[in-house]
C-alpha cells in the first residue's frame, strides 16, 4: 500500500476507497483483548486502528504526510457506517467511533464499491442520480446533443472552424456573426483539450473530461474580464459575494491593517469574523470546483508528486479556467484570504487545537472539492487545498501562453476566412486585416495546410518546452510520432537530425591541471 500509486483515470476516489479498505482488512493487526471481564479474540481497539491507519496514510503517496489524526478518525467512522468494520457485538451503521479503547472487528465479508458503468455514447454514468445539465446550466440543444471530439483525427475538427465555400450564397449578417462566434469558441475548446491532454500525457481524455464539459464562454470570460491582479470581474453583481462577506474577508486578509476604520473593541472579534466567512462558504449549494469537474480534479491529485509539481500546476491552471466565472472569482478571493491569514504572524490563534493553516484547510476543503456519491473525498480535498494554498498565484493566474496560442491559431485561420468574419473579429482582435475570396480548390488546400500547421505547432511546443525533463520529452515525442508519423518524419527526416535534439554531453572530463608543487632540480651540475 505504501508504494502503490493509483494512476489517473475514471472514478479514482472509488478506486482509492477499495484499495484502502482491502489493505486495512488484510494488514490491520488483530489480537485478544479483555473487556468487562470477557475475552475477545481477533479484534482491535479504536485507538490501535487510528494509530495504525494514520501512519499508513501519511506514508502513502496518494495522501501524503499532511493527513491528521482527526481525519483518520473520520475515515474510520465512514468504515463503521459502511460496514467495513463493526463493534465487538456486531453493530454498525452509525458514525460514533472515537479515539478510545472500544473494541472492533471485521465482518465476514467486506463491501467493495462497484465502479459505475459509463454509457457508450454520452460517456456519463448510468447510475448518476443527479443530471449534470442542472450543473452545467447550458441551453437544451447543447445538453441533448454533445459534440464529438477526437484528438487523433484533429483535421476533422478544424474543418468545422471554416466558412462556407465561396460558391454558396452569402448568409445574412446575424447568421454570419453566430457562425463566426461558434468557430472562435470551437478554437478555444480544441486548444484547451489538446493542451490538457499534452500536459497530462495520457492517450485520451474520454474517461476524464468530455468536450461538452468545456464551455468556451467561461474560459474566454475568465481570461479576459479580470482585474489587474487577474481576479475575475462579474458584470452581474447578484452572482458576486455579498458585500458583508467581502468586507469580512478583507478584514481578515489585511489583519490588523484593515481599511475599515471601526476597529474591534472586544476579545475574540477575529474569531467571530472568521466564523461568518466560513458559514457562508459552507452553505453554498455545491463546491467551488463543482460536482461536474470532481473526477477531473481527483485525477490531477495523482500528479502531486515532487518530480511532477510543475505538471500539476499547469494542469490545475487550465482546469480552473473551466469553472463558471462566479465560482472562479470566489475561489480566487478565498485562496488569497486564507493564504494571507496563514502567513500573517500577527493573526491571533483562531483555534486552540490546531494552527492557522491547518484550520484553513480543515474548514474550507469540503466547500472547494467534494462529491455527493463518495464518502472518501475528505482526505483528497485536504491534499488538493493544501497544494492550492502553496501555488494559488500561478494556478489561478491567467496563462498568457494559451491566449497567444489561440490568437496565433485564429491568425492562421484568417487566411481562409472571407468577409463573413470582418464584423465579429473586429470586436475581439481589432488589429486584424482579412484576405479576399478564394476558390473552392484553394479553400480545400488551405484547410489541410491549416490543420497540418496546428499539429506542427504542437510538435514545436513540445521540443522547445524547457520545463520538461529529457525523459518526459522523449516520451511525448514518441507518442507524437505514433499519432502523426508523417509530420514527425518531416521534422526529423534522418536519425541524425533526431539525435541532435537529444545529444548527450561528453562524459569524459578533460584532465585537470595538476595542483602539486613542481619539483625543482638543483641549479648546480
β 38-45/103-105 pair status: antiparallel
pLDDT at 60 over 70: yes
pLDDT score of 141: 34
pLDDT at 55 over 60: yes
Average pLDDT over residues 65-91: 89
**Cell numbers describing residue 275:** 466564523
Contacts of 331 (CB under 8 A, 6+ apart): 288, 289, 320, 323, 368, 396
Long-range contacts made by residues 416-423, C-beta under 8 angstroms, separation at least 24? 416/162, 416/163, 416/443, 416/446, 416/447, 416/450, 417/162, 417/163, 418/163, 418/166, 419/170, 420/163, 420/164, 420/170, 420/171, 420/176, 420/179, 420/180, 421/163, 421/180, 423/173, 423/176, 423/177
**Cell numbers describing residue 429:** 482582435
**CA–CA dist 320, 301 (Å, integer):** 14
pLDDT at 168 over 90: no
pLDDT score of 336: 95
pLDDT-above-70 percentage for the chain: 72
Average pLDDT over residues 71-75: 90
Average pLDDT over residues 71-83: 90
Q: What is the DSSP string of 126-148?
A: TT-SS-THHHHT--HHHHHSPPP
In the block, which residue shows the cell 494552527? Answer: 355
**Phi, psi at 232, each rounded to 5°:** -65, 140
> Which CA distances in Å does 352 have to 150, 346, 348, 373, 433?
54, 16, 11, 33, 64
pLDDT score of 129: 35
Average pLDDT over residues 188-207: 85
**CA–CA dist 12, 295 (Å, integer):** 7
Are 48 and 101 spatial neighbours (Cβ–Cβ below 8 Å)? no
* Separation of CA 292 from chain center: 12
pLDDT (tens digit per residue) in 229-277: 899 999 998 999 999 999 999 999 988 876 454 555 678 888 999 999 9
> How confident is residue 369, by pLDDT bands cut at 50, 70 and 90?
very high
> How confident is residue 1, by pLDDT bands cut at 50, 70 and 90?
low
User: Exposed/middle/buried for 477, CB within 10 Å: 0-12, 13-18, 19+?
Assistant: buried
> 3-class SS at 313?
helix
Helices 12-27 and 46-58 pack at an angle, to 10 degrees, of 130
pLDDT score of 280: 96
In the block, which residue shows the cell 491507519? Answer: 53
Length of the chain in residues, anyone? Answer: 525
Average pLDDT over residues 468-488: 85
**Cell numbers describing residue 122:** 454520452
In the block, which residue shows the cell 488569497? Answer: 336
| Domain residue spans of the chain | 12-105
Average pLDDT over residues 497-516: 58
pLDDT score of 8: 63
pLDDT score of 428: 44
**CA–CA dist 122, 133 (Å, integer):** 13
**CA–CA dist 410, 318 (Å, integer):** 20
Strand order in the sheet with 38-45: 31-35, 38-45, 103-105, 86-87
**Cell numbers describing residue 116:** 459505475
pLDDT at 100 over 50: yes
**326-340, 362-376, 388-402: which is most confident:** 326-340
Q: Strands, DSSP E only, in 349-428?
A: none
Q: How close are the terminal C-alpha atoms of the chain, in Å?
A: 79
In the block, which residue shows the cell 489585511? Answer: 254
Choosing among 1.10.10.10, 3.40.50.11750, 1.10.645.10, 3.30.460.80, the CATH entry for 12-105 is 1.10.10.10
> How confident is residue 87, by pLDDT bands cut at 50, 70 and 90?
very high
**CA–CA dist 391, 404 (Å, integer):** 23
Residue environment code for 379-403, b if the CB has 16+ CB neighbours within 10 A, otherwise e: bbbbbbbbbbbebbeebbeebeebe
Amino acid at each position: 500500500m505504501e508504494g502503490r500509486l493509483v494512476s489517473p483515470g475514471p472514478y479514482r476516489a472509488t478506486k482509492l476507497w477499495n484499495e484502502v479498505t482491502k489493505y486495512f482488512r488484510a494488514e490491520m493487526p488483530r489480537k485478544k483483548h479483555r473487556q468487562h471481564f470477557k475475552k475477545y479474540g481477533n479484534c482491535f481497539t479504536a485507538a490501535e486502528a487510528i494509530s495504525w491507519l494514520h501512519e499508513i496514510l501519511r506514508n502513502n503517496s496518494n495522501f501524503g504526510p499532511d493527513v491528521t489524526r482527526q481525519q483518520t478518525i473520520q475515515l474510520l467512522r465512514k468504515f463503521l457506517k459502511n460496514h467495513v468494520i463493526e463493534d465487538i457485538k456486531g453493530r454498525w451503521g452509525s458514525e460514533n467511533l472515537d479515539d478510545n479503547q472500544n473494541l472492533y472487528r471485521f465482518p465476514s465479508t467486506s463491501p467493495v464499491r462497484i465502479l459505475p458503468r459509463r454509457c457508450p455514447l454520452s460517456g456519463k454514468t448510468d447510475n448518476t442520480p443527479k443530471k449534470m445539465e442542472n450543473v452545467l446550466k447550458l441551453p437544451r440543444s447543447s445538453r441533448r446533443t454533445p459534440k464529438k471530439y477526437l484528438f487523433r483525427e484533429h483535421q476533422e475538427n478544424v474543418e468545422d472552424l471554416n466558412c462556407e465555400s465561396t460558391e454558396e450564397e452569402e448568409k445574412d449578417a446575424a447568421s454570419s456573426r453566430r457562425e463566426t462566434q461558434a468557430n472562435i469558441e470551437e478554437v478555444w475548446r480544441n486548444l484547451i483539450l489538446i493542451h490538457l491532454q499534452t500536459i497530462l500525457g495520457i492517450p485520451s481524455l474520454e474517461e476524464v473530461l468530455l468536450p461538452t464539459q468545456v464551455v468556451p464562454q467561461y474560459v474566454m470570460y475568465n481570461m479576459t474580464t479580470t482585474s489587474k491582479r487577474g481576479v475575475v470581474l462579474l458584470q452581474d453583481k447578484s452572482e458576486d459575494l455579498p458585500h458583508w462577506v467581502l468586507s469580512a474577508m478583507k478584514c481578515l486578509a489585511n489583519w490588523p491593517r484593515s481599511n475599515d476604520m471601526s476597529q474591534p473593541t472586544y476579545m475574540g472579534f477575529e474569531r467571530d469574523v472568521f466564523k461568518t466567512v466560513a458559514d457562508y462558504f459552507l452553505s453554498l449549494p455545491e463546491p467551488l470546483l463543482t460536482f461536474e469537474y470532481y473526477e477531473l480534479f481527483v485525477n490531477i491529485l495523482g500528479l502531486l508528486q515532487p518530480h511532477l509539481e510543475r505538471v500539476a500546476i499547469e494542469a490545475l491552471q487550465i482546469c480552473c479556467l473551466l469553472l463558471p466565472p462566479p465560482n472562479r472569482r470566489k475561489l480566487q478571493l478565498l485562496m488569497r484570504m486564507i493564504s494571507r491569514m496563514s502567513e500573517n504572524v500577527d493573526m491571533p490563534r483562531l483555534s486552540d487545537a490546531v494552527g492557522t493553516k491547518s484550520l484553513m484547510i480543515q474548514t474550507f476543503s469540503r466547500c472547494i472539492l467534494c462529491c455527493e456519491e463518495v464518502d472518501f473525498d475528505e482526505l483528497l480535498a485536504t491534499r488538493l487545498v493544501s497544494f492550492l494554498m502553496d501555488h494559488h498565484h500561478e494556478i489561478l493566474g491567467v496563462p498568457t501562453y494559451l491566449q497567444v496560442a489561440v490568437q496565433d491559431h485564429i491568425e492562421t485561420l484568417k487566411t481562409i476566412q472571407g468577409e463573413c468574419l470582418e464584423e465579429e473579429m473586429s470586436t475581439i482582435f481589432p488589429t486584424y486585416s482579412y484576405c479576399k475570396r478564394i476558390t473552392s480548390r484553394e479553400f480545400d488546400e488551405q484547410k489541410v495546410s491549416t490543420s497540418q500547421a496546428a499539429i506542427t505547432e504542437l510538435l514545436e511546443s513540445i521540443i522547445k518546452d524547457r520545463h520538461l525533463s529529457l525523459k518526459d520529452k522523449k516520451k511525448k515525442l514518441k507518442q507524437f510520432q505514433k499519432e502523426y508519423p508523417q509530420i514527425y518524419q518531416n521534422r526529423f527526416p534522418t536519425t541524425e537530425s533526431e539525435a541532435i535534439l537529444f545529444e548527450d554531453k561528453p562524459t569524459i572530463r578533460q584532465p585537470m591541471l595538476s595542483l602539486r608543487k613542481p619539483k625543482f632540480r638543483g641549479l648546480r651540475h
